[in-house]
């Protein structure tokens, strides 16, 4: 079972342009699509496609079109009552594969809603399940709410994965002494914001990214999956470090690629694959997502981990072995 929390869900609208985006210009769109989205929701969609049981917990009115869309797509959705319209996020995608995102803040979250969400997660989390806490936090949520949830879930026996950024990420890392998630999935720039290094350097240098990520291992995180955009991903565990180079991909939209990568790793873990196989599946999922329009989540038939090259990293020498 994969239990997901999308703390700040959104109606994701993707505008596909016929030519590159020009600031201040009037341009025609080739298409406009809309989809119920958010990091946790994306992972639940991928779970449904792969036949993995999933529950999606999120703050929303039960009769919201967002909820109805997920249910119609086969996603078992457990909304927690919250007042206010869900936010709308806009992605502008051009023919070169460049994406521009405009994300709105979302409705105010009350203390009662936060308590109900925490109760929903703790009641449903079972030993061996993965619980994914993903995305930004809405207005009204304390910056260390994910850290609170990690602590609250500690006695459930479930494995917790966190994928977030900015202040919530920093707050989580600042409280790893209270409780660490099983898995964290920063990208190169998010990791650099924690270590003070240059994000562009980490995105291009897997060894540098791996060395930076060991700081999270040393503070109690068991597994660190560092996505490096078009340069693949790095996996760190106590028993080793690996780098996976992506297969050749014609990029259509990078939106949701990181979510797909995280799901690929979780799927590999659920299937009992070795760490390098889990990493190959993660990169294969992310690459497949990048080749699809908008926030389309790949079906397993579109994912081929055999095209992903995985190598071990020797962090003592700074070379791949």
Residues designated catalytic: 259
Query: What are the phi and psi torsion angles at 16 (to 5°)?
Result: -100, 120
Which residues, including other chains, have CB under 8 Å from residue 150's CB and lie 6 or more apart? 133, 160, 162, 172, 178, 179, 180, 181
Q: For 101-223, where are the alpha helices, taking DSSP H only?
A: 111-124, 145-152, 166-174, 188-195, 199-204, 206-218
Count of C-beta atoms within a 10 Å radius of residue 300: 16
β-partners of residue 317 are none
Whether 287 and 249 have beta carbons less than 8 Å apart is answered as yes
Per DSSP, the three-state class of 177 is coil
Which residues, including other chains, have CB under 8 Å from residue 232's CB and lie 6 or more apart? 206, 243, 244, 245, 246, 283, 308
């Amino acid at each position: 079972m994969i239990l997901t929390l999308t703390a700040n869900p959104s109606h994701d609208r993707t505008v596909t342009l016929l030519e590159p985006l020009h600031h201040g210009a009037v341009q025609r769109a080739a298409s406009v699509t809309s989809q119920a989205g958010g990091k946790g929701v994306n992972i639940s969609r991928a779970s449904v496609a792969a036949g993995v049981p999933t529950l999606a917990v999120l703050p929303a009115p039960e009769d919201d079109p967002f909820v109805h869309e997920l249910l119609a797509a086969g996603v078992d959705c457990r909304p927690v009552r919250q007042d206010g319209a869900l936010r709308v996020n806009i992605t502008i995608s051009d023919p070169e594969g460049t994406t521009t995102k405009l994300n709105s803040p979302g409705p105010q979250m009350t203390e009662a809603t936060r308590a109900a969400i925490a109760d929903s997660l703790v009641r449903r989390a079972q030993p061996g399940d993965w619980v994914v806490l993903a995305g930004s936090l809405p207005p009204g949520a304390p910056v260390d709410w994910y850290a609170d949830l990690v602590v609250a879930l500690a006695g459930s026996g479930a494995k917790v994965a966190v994928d977030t950024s900015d202040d919530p990420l920093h707050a989580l890392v600042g409280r790893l002494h209270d409780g660490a998630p099983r898995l964290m999935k920063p990208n190169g720039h998010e990791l650099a914001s924690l270590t003070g290094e240059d994000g562009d350097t980490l995105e291009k240098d897997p060894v540098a990214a791996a060395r930076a990520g060991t700081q999270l291992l040393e503070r109690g995180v068991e597994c660190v999956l560092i996505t490096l955009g078009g340069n693949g991903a790095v996996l760190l565990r106590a028993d080793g470090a690996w780098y996976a180079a992506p297969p050749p991909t014609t990029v259509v939209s990078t939106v949701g690629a990181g979510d797909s990568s995280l799901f690929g790793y979780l799927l590999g873990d659920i299937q009992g694959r070795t760490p390098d196989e889990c990493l190959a599946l993660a990169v294969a999922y992310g690459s497949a997502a990048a080749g699809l329009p908008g926030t389309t989540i790949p079906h397993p038939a579109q994912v081929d981990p055999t095209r992903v090259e995985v190598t071990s990293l020797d962090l003592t020498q700074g070379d791949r072995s």
